[in-house]
Amino acid sequence: MKQAFAEYRFFFIAIALLWIKTFIIYKTAFELPMDNKVQELILFINPISSIVLFLGITLYFKGRTHRRMIVAVSAIMSFVMYANMVFYRFFNDFITIPVLFQTSNMGDLGNSVFELIQPTDLLVFIDIVILAYFMRRADYRPARASRKQITITFAAAIVLFIVNVGIAETERPQLLTRTFDREMLIKNIGSYNYHIYDSIIQSKAKAQRAFADGSEITDIENYSRANYKEPNPEMFGKAKGKNVFVISVESTQNFVINESVNGKEITPFMNDLIKDSYYFPNFYHQTGQGKTSDSEFLLDNSLYPLPSGAVFFTHSQNQYNATPEILKEQGYYSSVQHANNKSFWNRDIMYDNFGYDRYYSLKDFEVTPENSIGWGLKDKEFFKQSIPHLKEMQAMNKPFYTKYITLTNHFPFTLEEEDEMIPEWTSSDGTVNRYFTTVRYTDEALKEFFADVKEAGLYEDSIFIMYGDHYGISENHNDAMGQFLGKEITPFESTQLQKVPLIIHMPGEKGKTIETVGGQIDLKPTILHLLGIDTKGDIQLGSDLFSKDREDFAVLRDNSYITKDNVFTDGKCYDKATGKPVEGENNACEPYSERAKTELDMSDRIIYGDLLRFYDKDKAKDKAVKQEEKQKQ
C-alpha cells in the first residue's frame, strides 16, 4: 500500500485537492440548505465517487502522459464546476443538457458573462496550478498501473457511489426515481454524478425520439377524434373571455369534503363553495411518480404521465399543445404562482415550453422563517402575496389564465400551534392526525383568498377551478384510515381514496353536483370548452366533464380504471355498490380493459417519441370540420 501511494502520490493528491475544492464551492458558491448533520455528511462525501472514477482513467497511462492526463481531467472537472458557478449566479440554477441548447437562456448568459466573472474565481483553478507545478518534477514517472490496480480503483468508485446513494436514500427515499429537483440531486449525489445522470436521461430520451415514426401519430389522431365528445351547448362558452384561476390544492383527497373531526368541519369553506359551484365527487387524480408535476401535465395537456419518472424532467424539450399556448392564440396572458424553487420538477423549463408567459416562483415572494413552514411559504401568506401579481396581470387589459400551487398541506403535515383551527385527530398514526389540521388551514387560506380577490375587483369576471393534485395519505396508513372511515381499506377502498375534489365555481351560477366519473386528464377540454374554444382538432385523451355524451370512465397510472358501476384494480373487478369482487372472467370490467391499456400506451408513445412534432393542428382541424360537414349531409 505504501509503495502504491508513493508511486501514484500525484494521483492521490489530485483526488484530495479536487474533493476539498468541490466541497468548498458547494458551501460558498451555491445555496444548499442543510437540515441536519447527515445531509452535511452526504454533501461532503458525494464528490469522491465521480472524482475517483474520472481520475481513474489516467491510470491507463504512464510517466509524463499520466501526469498530463491528471492535470487535464482535473482541469475539465474544475471547468464544469466553474461553469455551474457562473450559471448559478445568473439563473440561481444548475446547468442541464437541455439548457445548453436553450438559445434564449444561454444567449442571456453570454451577454452577461463578463459581468458575472469575479477576480476571486481564479481560486477555483488553484489546484490546477499546484498540480502543474508538481507535474514538472522529474522524479515522478510512474509505470502504467496494473490491471488489478485499475480494477480496484473503479470498483472503489462504484462502492463509494453505492454508499453515497444508500445514505442519501435514508434522507430522501427513491431519490433517483422520484426527486427531480436539480438542487436536491446536487445535494445528494453531487455535481459530477448529477451531470452523468442528466446525460443518461437525456440520451435515453433522444434515442427514443430518434427512432419514432411520424406515421404513428395518424392512429392516435384517429383514436382521439373517434372518442371526442361534443360539448354541452348549455355550457360551451359559458365563461368566454373570463379570467381563469386554476388552484392545485396540495395533497387534498375528496374524503375530507363534508367530513368532520371531533365535531368540527375539516373544509367548511369548500363545503359552502360547493353549494354554489359545479362539484364532481367522482373525480380521480391520475398521477404517477411525478406527483404534483404529473397533475400539472395532465391539466395542461390531456395526456397521461409516464409509468416511471416525471415528464417534466425527462421530456421537457418535447413539443406539446398545452393549454397556455392555445389560450395565447385567444389573447390570454398565462402565469403560474408557486412559492418554491423555480427548478423544482424542472418547472422553469417546462412552463416555458408549455407557453406560460410568467412564472412567479420563490424569488417573487417574500419568504421568511416566520411566514413559512414545512415545504415553504404558508398558504395564507402565499395567497396574500399573490394579489399584487394579479393586479399586474389585470393592468394588461387582457384576460388571464393563472395557476396556483399550494404547499402547506404537504407531508409531513406540520403546522404551528397558532395556525391550528381544529385539533389533531387522536389515533396512533401522527401523520393522519396532522393531515386534517393542515387541510383545515389550507381551506381557511382559500376562504381569505376569495375575499381578497373580491376586494381586488377580480371576482365577478373570473372562474375558479380547484382540484386536488394527488393523494395525501398513502397506503402505509391504511390502519388509521380504516379507523377514521369505519371500514377496512381493501384494494377497492384504496382506489376510491384516490378521488380528489374538483370544484368549478362561476360567480352567479347555481351549484350542481355532477356524478360523472372522470379524472385530471379531462380538465383541459372542460376548461377550453367553458371558454368557448373548440378542441375537436386537438390530440387529447380526456373529454369534457360537462358533455352529455361522455362516458363514466377514468384510468389511473397504475392501470386501475373506474367506470360507472365498477372498479378494476389489483387484477380484480369490484362492484361499486357492494365493494366486493365480481366473479367470472367475462365480468363487467372486461369491456373497458383494452381501452384502458390503449390510452396509456398511446400517451406513452406520444411522450417517448415526441410525436406531437409531427402533428399539424390546423390541418387536423380542417379535416375534422370537413368530416363533420360530410356526416351532416
Q: Which of 96, 179, 287, 292 is catalytic?
A: 292
Active site residue 292: yes
Are the CB atoms for 86 and 117 separated by under 8 Å? yes
Cell (9 digits) for 532: 368557448
d(CA 371, CA 102): 35
Collapsed DSSP state (helix, strand, coil) of residue 9: helix
d(CA 284, CA 468): 9
DSSP H helical ranges for 508-616? 523-530, 590-609
DSSP letter at 499 equals B
Burial 338-352 (b: 16+ CB within 10 A, else e): bbbbbbbbbbbbbbe
Nearest to 55 by CA among 39, 41, 71, 44: 71
d(CA 539, CA 614): 12
d(CA 342, CA 392): 20
Count Cα atoms within 13 angstroms, Cβ side, for 472. 29
DSSP H helical ranges for 33-146? 37-45, 48-56, 63-91, 97-100, 103-116, 126-135
Burial 227-253 (b: 16+ CB within 10 A, else e): bbbebbeebbebbeebbbbbbbbbbbb
Cell (9 digits) for 105: 437562456
Nearest to 516 by CA among 527, 505, 526, 508: 526
- Residue 268: which residues within 8 A CB-CB, separation 6 or more? 443
d(CA 68, CA 134): 11
d(CA 304, CA 555): 9
Cell (9 digits) for 1: 500500500
Active site residues: 292
